[in-house]
Structure 1
Amino acid sequence: MLGISQRDRIGTEAAEAIAAEGSYEVYFGMGHVLRLLNRPDVFKVSPAGMSLGDFLVRDLTQDDLRGSLLDMGTGSGALAILLRGLGAHDITATDISASAVKTAMENELLNFGDQRISFGEGSLFDGPRTKRRFDLIVFNPPGWHSPSEECREELKRQNLRGLNLSAMFSGEKVAFDFLRQLPHHLTSNGRAIVGLNSMIGIRSVLSRIRELDGVGDALEFKLIERHTFPLFFYSGDWRESRDILLTEFHRWRDRHGIAFSVSDDGTLYWSYEVIECRLAAKFREVRA
């Protein structure tokens, strides 16, 4: 928990940031509206993030909210703050980015006026706040597969400084590492709600997990819902790299089995899949 002076300081910084940088609203249904700071180095809530938040509003029960909850890769803190708004009390939220954690803390103060969420910096389960088991883990990993050397070289030649490669690429590696460690961080009846992008090669990731000794038979996966979104190139740098990326996406489909479709007008559509992960029955019995 923050001391009073630190809460006041962060609250003042949030107010100053709204005046200087602006903010935006996100609505998740059933009256849950969040106001979030608009920071250039922290992703705004995407349509995929909106879908995951909408699912949490529809799905979580009061029993779920009484448990221990982890929002991994919290970014702006939107899902963690939503969980608090739904009534959760034991919420941990982590991100690999220090600036994202700072923004998330400010966003909680902006929406609630105080701080109850345990925010911390860390990569996956490496942070001190994640050395425990949780009843519910929510995770929205990076959405694209790791780039090929050809792609990296072409992007480097274009000097596209606005592209945040670590935040967008390597989704298959992050998802694999998360699932590999997940059985050690779920309570006996716990579950993880993970939003996976078809551009990482979901089938390949899950197949590799199932082949791991001690992990493959520990987890069960269930597709909860699926959404289809068009791919937009929002920034100038993304638009400049469009041809490079489209070529790379086709490489991924040939080499790694990622899934997408292309309409007659050339728009690429990808799939966002909300997947529930639980311990297999024999592991739940042992842990109980």
Structure 2
Amino acid sequence: MTEITSAVIIGAGPMGSAIAIGLKKSSPTIALQVIDPDITRWDALINAGISTTQHLPNPIISEAIVIAIPPQAFGGFSENNPQLEHYTGIIISVMAGINLSALTNQLKTSQICRVMPNLPCAINEGVSVSIFAPETTQENNTLVRELFSKPGLFLKLVERHTLPLLYYTPQWQLLRTSLRNEFENWARQHLADYATDQCGNIYWSYEIIEFSHSTMWHPT
């Protein structure tokens, strides 16, 4: 399998609807079904030719699941839909605030990734950012990349390493306060990101990111 041909999107709010409609535009042949108990959210989806229903199928036969519900609703939803624990495809979360560890533990699967694609899907251009659980297969990595690179640029976080800022000499130690002030100034301008521990030590990170973009489709 070289691309996802069917997917279930859980949630028909602004985020879920934007993703569903955007994916339908960028991948016209994909079979989408959106799950949401609130039928008042269905009109735009139905007009876009997307199937809607109130309940998650059992069993789930789609190749991918996109979870696009508010994070506070996730615990109750997963408990009320035990068929998720038997699902063998890739599960894509666009929920903010729920990390990969929590997702894999709750859903009992290693085939998980987090993606933030709702704006690129909504406007058919932009950047989708992703991070995958360590045991996600290469096939599922590729399927998600191909799916979300069509509306825009797709970024995958391959590695991230966090290191302490070390002061190797007495002269560097004298600059410690100035360096921290500079880091804070960069952060206020959104030019840098860093963390500190209880002792005030600065930790910085470097990342290896994979870029991909589909040239097969252009918005009209």
Which gives a bigger RCO, structure 1 or 2 (Cα 8 Å, sep 6+)? 2
TM > 0.5: no
Q: Which has the higher helix share?
A: 1
TM-score (norm 1): 0.34
TM-score (norm 2): 0.42
Find the structure with the greater CA-based Rg. 2
